[in-house]
Amino acid sequence: MSQFKRENQLKNNAMQTNQQASTNPEMSLAIRNRKQMIKNSRKNNNKPRPRNNRRKQNISHAARILSGSPHPCVTHYASALCDPEGTPSGACIPYGFPVPTQKIKVMQRGTMVVGTTGQGYVTASLGIANDATVVISTTAASVGTGATVLTAFSNLTGTTLFKLPYTSTQLNADSTGRVVALGLKARYTGTESARNGTVTTFELPSNATQRPGGTAFSTLQQEAGSKSERPSPLGTWHSVNYSGPKVATQASLGPQSLWNAFTAELVILVDGVAGDKYEWEIFGHYEFSGTNIPGMSSTHSDMGMFGKVVESIKSFATSEPLSDGNNRSAFGKFFADAGSSLYSYVKEKGMSLAIDTVSSALLPRGLGFQPSKLLLKG
């Protein structure tokens, strides 16, 4: 059928319909309703559609990213608390006035031997100077029982973190520092046949007047926040991490004289046989600022998110110390409490930034994320 004939047929059909409608009220009503529906539909199609809120507010792509996940400095800080060893250097505390700081990461190792009566220990303090005694450990000649307070053990060894850049004299009122994160771990290094006893890890839960050094060995073993286990046959480390500041002073920059008060924050006790040998390692992140401090870079301050980090992570340090055994869960809880997720952080910020701010042990597995390969490409 030609186009002309088709158009004539449609016109004839329309005329017939109109003629029928003139004598049929029901059909006339149906035609009017249909015309009104078509008219309303055209009006709705012509209306401007509501724009996305982000577009309406003209929020930039960068701003949307920052509003979706925690700031990289906050994430870096949370990672450093959860895994001081694996977290890259450069972490800072997002607290207080954001003055530029020099950011340092150090590690050191040593040995601890169980004393003559079968008790031994290693502790870590919050010192920031390279001539301040940070680690104290027993030796084969140490004498002390379960009823002996830690500082009363004889023949102890004190260790300074000589890799830190400044002395106590340099860290005076004009040059200050603070501990960002700290982790202490120890493992049995003797023969398998002689492996015995228990290892207890403990973090001071509050800024108590009675420091662990002034507490009896057996009392610390029974503390509510301690964790006891057998020495691992596989050479696995027993670890305890500093879960963050307990008072505002510990989050602030200050001279070494201020940090002298925070002794034995982290404790590892060994109840075994005289002469049992252990090795220990300590990892710390530090910030320094003030006169004659080189290499300072900007910091970020976010009191709300700082509180969220400490609140979330310390919730895992109540029943037992923050350690390599629960740090992934603690890190995940921080993101959940912050209204985000680690997957979202990596997706929004990119894996390149993620591996600069998060420990590879804490990065997500699966869904295409393979941190180890990216780190090797480095």
pLDDT in tens, 189-226: 988 888 999 999 999 988 766 788 889 999 999 998 89
SS3 (DSSP) at 124 = strand
Give yes or no: residues 176 and 229 share one domain.
yes
pLDDT for 363 equals 87
Q: Within a domain: residue 214?
A: yes
Distance, in Å, from the CA atom of 163 to the CA atom of 89, rounded to the nearest integer, reads 14
Give yes or no: residues 229 and 350 share one domain.
no
Give yes or no: residues 202 and 226 share one domain.
yes
The count of domains in the chain is 2
Residue 248, number of CB atoms within 10 A of its CB: 9
Give the 3-state secondary structure of 303-357: HHHHHHHHHHHHCCCCCCCCCCCCHHHHHHHHHHHCCCCHHHHHHHHCHHHHHHH
pLDDT for 375 equals 46
Give yes or no: residues 279 and 204 share one domain.
yes
pTM of the predicted structure, to 2 decimals: 0.79
Q: Within a domain: residue 357?
A: yes
**Radius of gyration of the chain from its Cα atoms, rounded to whole angstroms:** 33
Q: Within a domain: residue 377?
A: yes
Q: Within a domain: residue 340?
A: yes
Averaged confidence pLDDT in the chain: 85
The CATH number given to whatever domain includes residue 178 is 2.60.120
Distance, in Å, from the CA atom of 342 to the CA atom of 271, rounded to the nearest integer, reads 39
Q: Within a domain: residue 63?
A: yes
Give yes or no: residues 160 and 230 share one domain.
yes
Q: Rounded to the nearest 10 degrees, what angle do helices 303-314 and 72-82 cross at? A: 20
pLDDT in tens, 136-148: 999 999 999 999 9
Higher pLDDT, 173 or 215: 215
What dihedral do alpha carbons 69, 71, 77, 81 form, nearest 10°?
-10
Q: Within a domain: residue 5?
A: no
- The answer to whether 338 and 70 are in contact (CB under 8 A) is yes
Choosing from 272, 297, 322, the residue where a domain stops is: 297
pLDDT in tens, 263-283: 999 999 999 999 999 999 999
Give yes or no: residues 68 and 135 share one domain.
no
Choosing from 268, 297, 326, the residue where a domain stops is: 297
Choosing from 297, 323, 347, the residue where a domain stops is: 297
Residue 370, number of CB atoms within 10 A of its CB: 12
Q: 217 phi and psi, to 5 degrees?
A: -55, -50
Give yes or no: residues 202 and 313 share one domain.
no
- The answer to whether 152 and 144 are in contact (CB under 8 A) is yes
Task: Quickly state the pLDDT bin for 111 (edges 50, 70, 90).
Answer: very high
Q: Within a domain: residue 362?
A: yes
pLDDT for 89 equals 97
Q: Note the Cα 84 to chain centre separation in Å.
A: 9
Give yes or no: residues 118 and 168 share one domain.
yes
Give yes or no: residues 142 and 81 share one domain.
no
Give yes or no: residues 114 and 215 share one domain.
yes
Q: Within a domain: residue 370?
A: yes
- The answer to whether residue 92 scores a pLDDT higher than 80 is yes
Q: Which domain holds residue 170?
A: 99-297
Burial class for 353, CB neighbours closer than 10 Å (0-12, 13-18, 19+) = middle
